[in-house]
Structure 1
Amino acid sequence: MYNNYGNPPGMQMPPIGQMPPATGQMPSANPQPGQFGNPFYGASSGLIKTGLGAYGEKFLGSSSEFMQSNINRYFSNPQYYFHVNDQYVRNKLKVILFPFLHRGHWTRISEPVGGRLSYKPPIYDINAPDLYIPFMAFGSFIILAGFTLGFMGKFTPEAINLQFSRGLIGWALQIVILKGLLYSMGGGEVPLLDLVAYGGYLFAGLSLAVVSRLLWAYSYYVMMPWMSLCMGVFLVRTMKRVLFTEMRSSERHSTRQHYFLLFLAIAQFPLFFWLGNIGA
């Protein structure tokens, strides 16, 4: 009898390495080489990997150059706008608050850099836009608005938040007006941070008007129109410089351009009075 868990009595199984082949199956004399044993497979795989790697590097390089060119085109270098000193800040505030007294030119100073013209930073050019004055003026305006609300007995966190939001909206409106003016006049692509700087200069005049209101309430009705007029003159002369630089000389004195610049100057009055109406 057979043992269910072993071999028949008296019979020994050969070792595993000496097992005969099954009936009807003959050992293959020439085994088929696998894909990893084929030398052509390794060569073709290497070529494919090299080609894909080169294509990927080329694609990423072109994408990086495209993004970098668009960033420089629309946003420029943020560090450029903070390269200022005390002398520049004083002189720039004089130009913004009293543009009628500016006897110099309004053209920016350029210099060749890397085979193309580039503008000098604000520390070397009084006509260059900066972001230091707009941000400092915006912060000063919010602080002065808080003092004004305190003197009026209306100081609350909600009132400060409302004034902060109103200031940001006014800043954005100024940028939209400047961008629309340049677009309608066919001006070239001006870096966005340039427009942010030009639009933020209005808070310098607003801060001065609010200070005069704190000192004497009735002076507000004199300082606010004056600051609106000064900002209008400053922006008109600045935008004329931008348009003259980027447009042909035959189009510089068109009637349409004068109307748009006049609209830019007039728009400063309602914008100033809306932002300066603190506590309303």
Structure 2
Amino acid sequence: MDLPHHVYQAAPKQRGRAGPPTVLFEDTSSGAPAMRTPGYNMAGPANEMQGDPAGNNLFTDPMANAAMMYGSSLANTGKDMVNKEFSRFVSVNKLKYFFAVDTRYVLKKLMILLFPYTHQDWEVRYHRDTPLTPRQDVNAPDLYIPTMAFITYILLTGMALGIQQRFSPEVLGLCASTALVWIIIEVLVMLLSLYLLTVHSDLSTFDLIAYSGYKYVGMIFTVLCGLLFGSDGYYVALAWSSCALMFFIVRSLKMKILPSISHDTMGTGPSNKPQFRLYITVATAVFQPIIIYWLTSHLVR
């Protein structure tokens, strides 16, 4: 039966005014939260947090502020104690001196290490009995180049082992520890020799570490030539870097150890002391190629 025309027109208006259908059961199969009723206050938790003074009490509570101040003072005290204990063994000011370098100094120093035969003036300059910083005097020893060269050598070692399919963290750690131990042994032997022979020189422990660490520049050059040109390139680079390093060590230590020879000759010390000082200088220089070969020969095949 067909409905009257006026009834057919009124039905849509009633549907448009009607509210949403009542949900008898909530669909919780998808894990979504249940549908909230229109009268639910969505900002209720936020308003509760704003109205609850407990959150603000965390910053205004005297006990919390006292705890924070005590923790800060305790951290500062611990930092001061660490710095004090560190200063007992290592002088921070001296350590800063050996890292006072710039780009110009680094480039000139690398050229001297690889081509020392063209360098003429090897004398270390002083200002009011204080040696100039490395950035002011290219002949001053530094620890920046040895440190960066050591890190570069370790990275180059990992690359060389990876090319030869022999890389592993254990092997790389062994190479790094071996290189570090060689420096420690070399510096200790040098200090012991100077002490037993009662040699008074301007060399400090940092100076010896610097001169011992300069060998890593030659080691990097040697390994790179070996990787690029094979064993022939390795031995040619080894010969060149060894001769250059020996020449550099002799000329540098000559300004630190040998100047006091005349004082021993004029004093009451034994007459063979000048010869021993010369032997120490030469032995230190000759020992460098042996270490270079020992630490780089297994990286080139």
TM-score over 0.5 for the pair: yes
Hey, what's the Cα distance between the residues in 1 that align with 2:93 and 2:263?
A: 26
1:119 Cα deviation after fit:
0.7
| Residue of structure 1 in register with 2:220 after alignment | 207
| Residue of structure 1 in register with 2:297 after alignment | 277
Letter in 2 for 1:195: L
Q: Is the 8 A contact 1:209 1:220 kept in 2?
A: yes
1:90 Cα deviation after fit:
0.7
Q: Match for 1:86 among 103, 125, 128?
A: 103
1:212-271: CA deviation from partner (whole Å, max 9, x where unpaired): 111111210111122122111111111111014555445499333333322222212211
1:196 Cα deviation after fit:
1.3
Q: Match for 2:249 among 220, 231, 235?
A: 235
Distance 1:185 1:94, change over 3 A: farther
Q: Match for 1:139 among 144, 147, 151?
A: 151
Matched, 1:109 2:122: no
Q: Give SS of 2:130's match.
A: strand
| Residue of structure 2 in register with 1:187 after alignment | 200
TM-score for both structures, normalised by structure 1: 0.67
Alignment of 1:12-27 (within 5 A): none
Q: Give SS of 2:122's match.
A: coil
| Residue of structure 1 in register with 2:116 after alignment | 99
Letter in 2 for 1:224: L
Aligned length, in residue pairs: 207
Q: Is the 8 A contact 2:258 2:278 kept in 1?
A: no
1:44-92: CA deviation from partner (whole Å, max 9, x where unpaired): xxxxxxxxxxxxxxxxxxxxxxx979855xx861111111111100111
| Residue of structure 1 in register with 2:182 after alignment | 170
Root-mean-square deviation over aligned CA pairs: 2.6
Distance 1:110 1:249, change over 3 A: same
- Segments of 5+ residues of structure 2 without an aligned counterpart are 1-85, 267-272
| Residue of structure 1 in register with 2:132 after alignment | 120
- Segments of 5+ residues of structure 1 without an aligned counterpart are 1-66
1:129 Cα deviation after fit:
1.0
TM-score for both structures, normalised by structure 2: 0.62
1:133-156: CA deviation from partner (whole Å, max 9, x where unpaired): 001100111111111101111011
Q: Give SS of 2:257's match.
A: helix
Hey, what's the Cα distance between the residues in 2 that align with 1:216 and 1:123?
A: 35
Identity of aligned residues (%): 30
Q: Is the 8 A contact 2:146 2:216 kept in 1?
A: yes
Regions of 4+ moved over 6 Å:
67-70
Q: Match for 2:282 among 245, 257, 262?
A: 262
Q: Match for 2:229 among 197, 216, 240?
A: 216
| Residue of structure 1 in register with 2:67 after alignment | none
Letter in 1 for 2:188: V
Question: Which gives a bigger RCO, structure 1 or 2 (Cα 8 Å, sep 6+)?
Answer: 1
Alignment of 1:42-61 (within 5 A): none
Hey, what's the Cα distance between the residues in 2 that align with 1:245 and 1:255?
A: 13
